[in-house]
Structure 1
């Protein structure tokens, strides 16, 4: 047990369970992005491993529009006793990326080029489940843009983001 200036620290632990995604990239991309995400949301395909770290789950998946929930807890805290900005950024990057992914045909992927996050209110373990909504604002052949926000159970906006994603198409010879 670690002793802090204000007495002994309470030690907690967390176990994370996840499935490793398939190594066959062709099989992973055989379906459209929308079909892939709907399969994960329905429990017919494993969730990405990152989901286990932050309690991230799909609520709705539509073309260019995705809603997810996440559950912050004390294991996400920074040194000042609130949820680390990386939690916000991870949730927002996930929901923006999935919104873009939901617009892609089979055999096409994406990667985040940049994301801008604005932190508007703190999150703590007492905040409870948060809801993130991401939507595509513009999509082209090689780049897509998405916006997102995170809200608490009272509908207050906690953070917003705008993201630019690179569309990755298979190489042709």
Structure 2
């Protein structure tokens, strides 16, 4: 599947559109995306809600895996560590890489960086390849 198709799939997901996720770096096994933080993404502490971090990491890891396996995937498990908050007006940037790929399970790592390049969150996710052409 061409990388542009993967971008279209993920950017046109209703949930990703709602969050404002945009994809910019497109290479096989290497995807980058970002969200410009607005007040609608903030929690009661006026920092980005943890679910936004989780969502962008899930999306960037999934898109990265899709560039390699060329099949739909689903998230099986994901853990996240938060290191620093992001505030309104900042840019949240996410990247991912594949750590291990088996026949039906893929493990990936995702990072969220702030606009200065500091890592503000990290995740590891396990994804199942949905074999649609059987």
8 Å Cα contact 1:110/1:165 also seen in 2: yes
1:63 paired with 2:28, answer: yes
Pair 168,40 (structure 1): closer, same or farther in 2 beyond 3 Å: closer
Q: How many angstroms does 1:64 deviate by?
A: 1.6
8 Å Cα contact 1:54/1:71 also seen in 2: no
Q: TM-score of the superposition, structure 2-length normalised?
A: 0.90
- SS of the equivalent of 2:97 reads strand
Q: List gaps (5 residues or longer) in structure 1.
A: 1-31
Q: Which residue of 1 aligns with 2:98?
A: 136
Determine which of 115, 118, 127 is the counterpart of 1:153. Answer: 115
Q: Which has the higher strand share?
A: 2
Q: List gaps (5 residues or longer) in structure 2.
A: none
Tell which has more relative contact order, 1 or 2 (C-alpha 8 A, sep 6+). 2
1:36-86 deviations in whole A, cap 9, x for unaligned? Answer: x42354x69962222222211111122221111111211111122211100
Q: TM-score of the superposition, structure 1-length normalised?
A: 0.71
Alignment of 1:81-92 (within 5 A): 81-92=46-57
Q: Which has the higher helix share?
A: 2
Pair 145,69 (structure 1): closer, same or farther in 2 beyond 3 Å: same
Mark the structure with the bigger radius of gyration: 1
Determine which of 19, 33, 37 is the counterpart of 1:54. Answer: 19
Q: Which residue of 1 aligns with 2:77?
A: 114
Q: Distance in 2 between matches of 1:44 and 1:167?
A: 16
Q: Which residue of 2 aligns with 1:103?
A: 68
Determine which of 101, 117, 128 is the counterpart of 1:166. Answer: 128
- SS of the equivalent of 2:54 reads helix
CA RMSD of aligned residues (A): 2.0
